[in-house]
Chains A and B, each alone.
Chain A
Amino acid sequence: MIEGRVWTFGDDVNTDVIMPGKYLNMRNPAELAPYIMEGLDPDFARKAKPGDVLVAGKNFGCGSSRETAPAGLHAFGIGAVIAVSFARIFLRNAINIGLPVLECAEAARALAGGDRVTVDVTTGAILDAATGRRWHAAPFPETLQALIREGGLVPYVRRRLAGGTR
């Protein structure tokens, strides 16, 4: 269960603003954390706190495939990203590394910066305790749910290799 403050962003937030190119050769995610969302708000990492929730419009994470974008958000401790929709590569990357992502247009449109939400990333339930508003993110297809249950791609591949399937 995640509980945090909402920070809102618009449509088509690209990975260049989530994690600018100058940080691409940093390999340790912890080093990336101070720079998240720098392209849109250079002070974001000083204002936000671990557990906080990003809420955005359509096509979140479009553009470059850089995994430093979700890795930076994850290392910072961003609790979840709720969006109307996600760009394909960002969605795969987030699921692979265990950054909770929820597609829920209703919540994404209703929530405002400063709201506090509780997110159950396993069920997709989103609750605004102050007002009692509730939403439910669309469940991911079974293939992705299985990957999420397993803890991401690393444990999945490790199990496959250990099982001798390759």
Chain B
Amino acid sequence: MGMTITEKIIAAHASRAAVAPGEFVTVRVDLAMGNDLSTAGAIGVLRKMEARRVFDPDKVVIVFDHVVPAKDIAAATMLTAVRAWVREQGLPHVYDEGRQGIAHVVLPEQGFALPGDLIIGGDSHTCTYGAVGAFSAGVGHTDLAGVLALGETWLKVPASQRFVYHGTPGRFVMGKDLILATLGRITIDGARYEAMEFAGPAIERLGMSDRLTMCNMAIEAGAKSGIIAPDDVTLEYVRPRARRAFTPYRSDPDARYAAEHEFDVGRLRPMVAKPFSPDNVVPVDEVAGTRLDQVFIGSCTNAKLEDLRVAAAILKGRKAHPYTRLIVIPASTWIWQQALREGLLEIFSEAGAAVSTPTCGACFGGHMGILGRNEVCLSTSNRNFVGRMGDPTAQSYLANPAVAAASAIKGAIAAPDEVL
């Protein structure tokens, strides 16, 4: 019987000819990712495990993203401990302040996450790397410590669900809208403990930035991983940056799926997830006019260079509404520099945006854009749970960067075609 791409990658890393959904296997990892928070947690656990060295320094990437530059004294203390450990271990792949970015954007961008890889990361959005055709799953910091110590972990082989997208998306319809529409249909636990495999003609025409956005939000359906089989678009992206040899896999035509879903993206409008769940999804037109105190363009989901270009094209020569704060946080230092060279940062600043260096910050209610009592925000990020971005009475709507830019201008949720 045929296997899915996910089953093939897991089998290859378990030294098995084949695996089937539901089996428990031990797998070798090609890459372990820790961010500032999960690495700090893992360091304490590694001591309890009496693990003195990481399994292979070349296979470890540490990215400072959640609380940099240090948001308070507790964060500063934590970051100091992470830096000391990184130096003690002699880790070569470290993205600290000045080079920092959000891990899920940095790893593909810097050629760490590659087709056929098995990657474990100490952050739920680790599923993002499925966009390059890797199996990639998030864990907590104790599991991360286990992987750092042993270079392996246990996995339950997930069943796969296949999502097939047909048609050509309209203007301002992005990967974010495809995944929001998917979440709206299957709900927040629609793929719990399973792999989401995205395919079809509309995916083949999608660029890497939109593919990364889609796989990034697989966790929002409870999925263990999201994945897109590598094609020419993937290889064109990966080849110039790959740090190692890699093996692309594809699902067999007779692979088994727990469910198959079809979508026609030709009729899709830009979508918005209303408070308080990313599966609470409606077309933007249904919530147009909702007043906004803040618009946040950032996060691992939608602050890549392509996302910033889309937002800047709408904001160019325009101003954010005087009663609406606009915050723009590029997802990596490379993107920040590129956005500077292309004049995007100037466009944002001229539009009245506060533009910061890369951080997860506002997305998780950490710093750099926390919401106050009863405030309403539209965000390009991935979660809008109660209290996610600040006060529990605050509300967040999730949308793509074009909707975010248009909404900032209007001071209220707006479809991009309303302002252009």
Pick the contact of A65 from B72, B139, B388, B392 — CB < 8 Å? B139
A4-25 near B? 1/0 per residue, CB < 8 Å: 0000000110101100111011
Pick the contact of A158 from B50, B66, B74 — CB < 8 Å? B50
Pick the contact of B41 from A62, A67, A160 — CB < 8 Å? A67
Known: A65-B138, A157-B145. A16 touches B74 (CB 8 A): no
The answer to whether A46 has its CB under 8 Å from any CB of chain B is no
Question: Chain B interface: which of A87-95, A113-121, A126-134?
Answer: A87-95
* Complexed CA–CA distance, A3 and B310 (Å): 56
Question: Chain A interface: which of B188-196, B234-242, B402-410?
Answer: B188-196
* Complexed CA–CA distance, A156 and B66 (Å): 30
| B386-A39 in contact (CB<8A) | yes
**Residues in B neighbouring A85, C-beta threshold 8 A:** 189, 192
**Residues in A neighbouring B167, C-beta threshold 8 A:** none
Pick the contact of A93 from B51, B71, B140, B151 — CB < 8 Å? B140
Residues of A143-166 contacting chain B, CB below 8 A = 143, 147, 152-154, 156-158, 160-162, 166
| B24-A141 in contact (CB<8A) | yes
Which chain A residue has the least Cβ–Cβ distance from B224? Answer: A88
The answer to whether A47 has its CB under 8 Å from any CB of chain B is no
| B142-A96 in contact (CB<8A) | yes
Which chain B residue has the least Cβ–Cβ distance from A17? Answer: B386
Residues of B26-74 contacting chain A, CB below 8 A = 37-38, 40-41, 44-45, 48-51, 55, 66-67, 71-72, 74
The answer to whether B143 has its CB under 8 Å from any CB of chain A is yes
| A27-B55 in contact (CB<8A) | no
* Complexed CA–CA distance, A141 and B41 (Å): 27
| A16-B38 in contact (CB<8A) | no
The answer to whether B20 has its CB under 8 Å from any CB of chain A is no
| A20-B142 in contact (CB<8A) | no
Pick the contact of B386 from A16, A87, A153, A154 — CB < 8 Å? A16
> Interface residues of B, CB < 8 Å — how many?
54
- Report the minimal beta-carbon distance from A89 to chain B, rounded to whole angstroms: 6
The answer to whether B298 has its CB under 8 Å from any CB of chain A is no
| B72-A154 in contact (CB<8A) | no
The answer to whether A77 has its CB under 8 Å from any CB of chain B is no
The answer to whether A26 has its CB under 8 Å from any CB of chain B is yes
**Residues in A neighbouring B38, C-beta threshold 8 A:** 65, 67
Name, among B40, B67, B149, the residue most crowded by chain A CB atoms within 10 Å (CB to CB): B149
| A16-B41 in contact (CB<8A) | no
Name, among B41, B124, B126, B154, the residue most crowded by chain A CB atoms within 10 Å (CB to CB): B124
The answer to whether A125 has its CB under 8 Å from any CB of chain B is no
Residues of B140-170 contacting chain A, CB below 8 A = 140-143, 145-146, 149-151, 154, 156
- Report the minimal beta-carbon distance from A91 to chain B, rounded to whole angstroms: 9
| B192-A59 in contact (CB<8A) | yes
**Residues in B neighbouring A64, C-beta threshold 8 A:** 124, 364, 383
Residues of A13-56 contacting chain B, CB below 8 A = 14, 16-17, 20-22, 24-27, 38-40, 42
| B366-A21 in contact (CB<8A) | yes
Pick the contact of B49 from A16, A88, A157 — CB < 8 Å? A157
| B49-A158 in contact (CB<8A) | yes
| B189-A12 in contact (CB<8A) | yes
The answer to whether B123 has its CB under 8 Å from any CB of chain A is yes
* Complexed CA–CA distance, A66 and B145 (Å): 14
The answer to whether A111 has its CB under 8 Å from any CB of chain B is no
| B385-A63 in contact (CB<8A) | yes
Name, among B50, B151, B222, the residue most crowded by chain A CB atoms within 10 Å (CB to CB): B222
- Report the minimal beta-carbon distance from B49 to chain A, rounded to whole angstroms: 4
Known: A62-B189, A157-B149, A158-B50. A67 touches B140 (CB 8 A): yes
- Report the minimal beta-carbon distance from A17 to chain B, rounded to whole angstroms: 5
Name, among B139, B142, B220, the residue most crowded by chain A CB atoms within 10 Å (CB to CB): B142
* Complexed CA–CA distance, A40 and B386 (Å): 8
Which chain A residue has the least Cβ–Cβ distance from B365? Answer: A21
| A141-B146 in contact (CB<8A) | no
* Complexed CA–CA distance, A162 and B415 (Å): 60
Instruction: Report, nearest first, the 5 A-B pairs whose CB atoms are least far apart.
Output: A67-B140, A93-B140, A21-B365, A59-B189, A65-B124
Extra contacts besides A14-B385, A153-B146, A154-B45 (17): CB < 8 Å: A16-B387, A20-B387, A21-B387, A21-B388, A24-B37, A27-B41, A39-B392, A65-B38, A65-B140, A66-B37, A85-B189, A96-B143, A141-B24, A153-B142, A157-B150, A166-B149, A166-B150
Residues of chain B touching chain A, judged by Cβ–Cβ distance below 8 Å, are 24, 37-38, 40-41, 44-45, 48-51, 55, 66-67, 71-72, 74-75, 78, 122-124, 126, 138-143, 145-146, 149-151, 154, 156, 188-189, 192-193, 219-220, 222, 224, 277, 364-366, 383, 385-388, 392
Residues of chain A touching chain B, judged by Cβ–Cβ distance below 8 Å, are 11-12, 14, 16-17, 20-22, 24-27, 38-40, 42, 58-59, 62-67, 70, 85, 87-89, 92-93, 96-97, 141-143, 147, 152-154, 156-158, 160-162, 166
What are 27 A-B interface contacts by the 8 Å CB criterion? A16-B387, A17-B385, A17-B387, A21-B365, A21-B366, A21-B388, A24-B37, A25-B71, A25-B78, A27-B78, A38-B387, A39-B386, A39-B392, A62-B188, A62-B222, A65-B123, A65-B124, A67-B140, A87-B189, A89-B140, A92-B139, A93-B142, A96-B143, A153-B142, A161-B49, A161-B150, A166-B150
